[in-house]
């Protein structure tokens, strides 16, 4: 080989030698992330399906990976905020509590309307005639007091009291709605961001001086992770749009065959929870548990609860619920 060719190939060899370990590490990291997303997604869907009594559905579906990806994405937002406050004292968080709530609620506006479905007439804002006025004037007052604190005109405890009071006023409405009628709204998504931030900050505070590699300490943060995953599975994932890989039930009209054991040669309105190669898992009106219908018992499925809107299906109206 000529000397010039040897000199030209030398940098390439050095590059491959240097990049080899990095490429191996990157491939392992990508594989680990995919496994984590998939495992989380399977667990999320399993917990969600348990609400309807479903067991043994096919886990090898892209929907599992999507569920895990959305969990990590919607959890990464408050975790990144908690990392910002990791070394800050709790007094700083108390003073900034209302700013955090306003920021999370503002973030929930585009994300919530894009990704989630809400029940009819959801309670987006705290009820009351003066809700907007209280929030806007309160935000202005907190900003003004923050300026006065920097000028050493007022004490920091005044800002803390006002910030906490306004935060509790706004947070109390989604919390009350959550425990009374489980209504999902934009404020529920903001509550997820806000609560996760405080929980992760507390976890950082507790584990800051401990070595996670000793005495099984590494497993203790998994309790928080599983708790967040459980809340996400039961409260957020069921409202995530199906088009984004979520679990929102789909309104359908199922037309059964003449040989079907369920409503033979008739139609019924239902919600489609899951579909497999063997059949469909549906939930009837005012029911809480799913029914498995084999594909052999289904003539067709119309993806709407109003078959009269389809010219092909007019005259084949389903039974009244």
Asked whether residue 10 is assigned to any structural domain, the reply reads no
Residues 232 and 255 in one domain: no
Question: What are the tokens at 88?
Answer: 């800050």
Asked whether residue 12 is assigned to any structural domain, the reply reads no
User: Is residue 189 within 8 Å of 112, Cβ to Cβ?
Assistant: yes
Asked whether residue 4 is assigned to any structural domain, the reply reads no
* pLDDT number for residue 80: 94
Q: Which helix (H) or strand (E) holds 40?
A: helix 3-50
Question: What are the tokens at 108?
Answer: 């929930």
Q: What is the pLDDT of residues 90-126, one digit of tens each?
A: 888 988 888 899 899 989 989 998 999 876 654 444 4
Residue 305, classified by CB atoms within 10 Å of its CB into exposed (0-12), middle (13-18) or buried (19+), is middle
Question: What are the tokens at 47?
Answer: 């917990």
User: Is residue 80 within 8 Å of 266, Cβ to Cβ?
Assistant: no
* pLDDT number for residue 194: 94
Asked whether residue 13 is assigned to any structural domain, the reply reads no
What range does the domain containing 303 cover? 250-313
Residues 60 and 172 in one domain: yes
Residues 88 and 180 in one domain: yes
Q: 131 or 35: which carries more pLDDT confidence?
A: 35
Q: What is the pLDDT of residues 272-295, one digit of tens each?
A: 988 888 889 999 888 888 889 899
* CA pair distance 146, 297, nearest whole angstrom: 67
Residues 231 and 258 in one domain: no
Asked whether residue 2 is assigned to any structural domain, the reply reads no
Last residue of a domain, one of 244, 271, 294: 244
* pLDDT number for residue 320: 44
* pLDDT number for residue 313: 63
Number of domains observed in the structure of the chain: 2
CB-CB neighbours of 41 under 10 Å: 25
Sign of CA dihedral 197, 203, 205, 207: negative
Q: What is the pLDDT of residues 201-241, one digit of tens each?
A: 988 887 665 555 555 566 677 888 899 999 999 889 999 99
Residues 262 and 208 in one domain: no
Instruction: Provide the mean pLDDT of the chain.
Output: 79
User: Is residue 245 within 8 Å of 255, Cβ to Cβ?
Assistant: no
Q: What is the pLDDT of residues 75-95, one digit of tens each?
A: 999 999 999 998 888 888 988
Residues 190 and 298 in one domain: no
* pLDDT number for residue 71: 94
Residues 163 and 301 in one domain: no
* CA pair distance 210, 204, nearest whole angstrom: 10
Q: Which of 278, 247, 296 is nearest to 45 (CA)?
A: 247
Q: Which helix (H) or strand (E) holds 305?
A: none
User: Is residue 308 within 8 Å of 253, Cβ to Cβ?
Assistant: no
User: Is residue 184 within 8 Å of 237, Cβ to Cβ?
Assistant: no
Last residue of a domain, one of 244, 263, 290: 244
Residues 232 and 272 in one domain: no
Last residue of a domain, one of 184, 211, 244: 244
pLDDT band at 309 (very low <50, low <70, confident <90, very high): low
Q: Which CATH number covers residue 261?
A: 2.30.30
Instruction: Pinpoint the alpha helices (H) of 51-130.
Output: 62-84, 90-95, 97-115
* pLDDT number for residue 137: 77
* pLDDT number for residue 134: 72
Residues 51 and 171 in one domain: yes
Asked whether residue 301 is assigned to any structural domain, the reply reads yes
* pLDDT number for residue 321: 45
Asked whether residue 11 is assigned to any structural domain, the reply reads no
Q: 121 or 179: which carries more pLDDT confidence?
A: 179
pLDDT of 169 higher than 80 = yes
Residues 233 and 138 in one domain: yes
SS3 state of residue 280: strand
Residues 198 and 286 in one domain: no
Residues 6+ apart with CB under 8 A from 6: none
Residues 181 and 297 in one domain: no
Name residue, tokens 């004037």. 137
Partners of 116 in the beta sheet?
A: 240
Q: 12 or 297: which carries more pLDDT confidence?
A: 297
Asked whether residue 236 is assigned to any structural domain, the reply reads yes
Question: If you write DSSP's letter for every residue of 243-265 in order, what string do you get?
Answer: GGT--PPEEEEEEEPTT-SSSTT
CB-CB neighbours of 39 under 10 Å: 13
* CA pair distance 261, 297, nearest whole angstrom: 8
* pLDDT number for residue 131: 67
Report the share of the chain in percent with pLDDT over 90: 17
Residue 149, classified by CB atoms within 10 Å of its CB into exposed (0-12), middle (13-18) or buried (19+), is middle
CB-CB neighbours of 313 under 10 Å: 18
pTM attached to this predicted model? 0.79
* CA pair distance 180, 67, nearest whole angstrom: 27
């Amino acid at each position: 080989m000529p000397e010039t060719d040897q000199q030209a190939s030398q940098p390439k060899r050095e590059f491959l030698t240097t990049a080899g370990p990095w490429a191996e590490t990157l491939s392992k990291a990508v594989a680990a992330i995919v496994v984590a997303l998939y495992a989380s997604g399977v667990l999320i869907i399993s917990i969600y399906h348990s609400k309807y009594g479903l067991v043994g559905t096919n886990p090898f579906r892209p929907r599992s990976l999507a569920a895990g990806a959305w969990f990590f994405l919607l959890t990464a937002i408050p975790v990144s905020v908690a990392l910002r406050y990791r070394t800050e004292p709790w007094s700083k968080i108390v003073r900034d509590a209302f700013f955090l709530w306003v920021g999370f609620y503002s973030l929930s506006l585009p994300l919530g309307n894009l990704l989630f479905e809400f029940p009819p007439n959801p309670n987006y804002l705290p009820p009351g005639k003066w809700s907007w006025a209280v929030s806007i004037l309160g935000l202005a007052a907190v900003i003004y007091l923050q300026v006065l604190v920097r000028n050493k005109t007022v004490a920091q405890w005044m800002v803390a009291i006002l910030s906490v009071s306004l935060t509790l006023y706004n947070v109390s409405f989604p919390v009350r709605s959550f425990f009374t009628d489980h209504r999902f709204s934009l404020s529920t998504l903001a509550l997820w961001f806000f609560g996760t931030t405080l929980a992760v900050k507390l976890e950082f505070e507790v584990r800051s001086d401990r070595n996670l590699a000793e005495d099984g300490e590494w497993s203790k943060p998994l309790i928080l992770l599983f708790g967040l995953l459980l809340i996400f599975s039961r409260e957020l994932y069921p409202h995530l749009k199906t088009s984004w890989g979520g679990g929102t039930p789909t309104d359908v009209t199922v037309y059964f065959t003449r040989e079907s054991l369920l409503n033979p040669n008739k139609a019924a309105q239902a919600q489609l929870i899951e579909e497999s190669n063997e059949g469909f898992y549906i939930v009837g009106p005012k029911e809480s548990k799913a029914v498995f219908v084999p594909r052999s018992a289904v003539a067709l499925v119309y993806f709407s609860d109003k078959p009269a809107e389809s010219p092909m299906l007019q005259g084949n109206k389903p039974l009244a619920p």
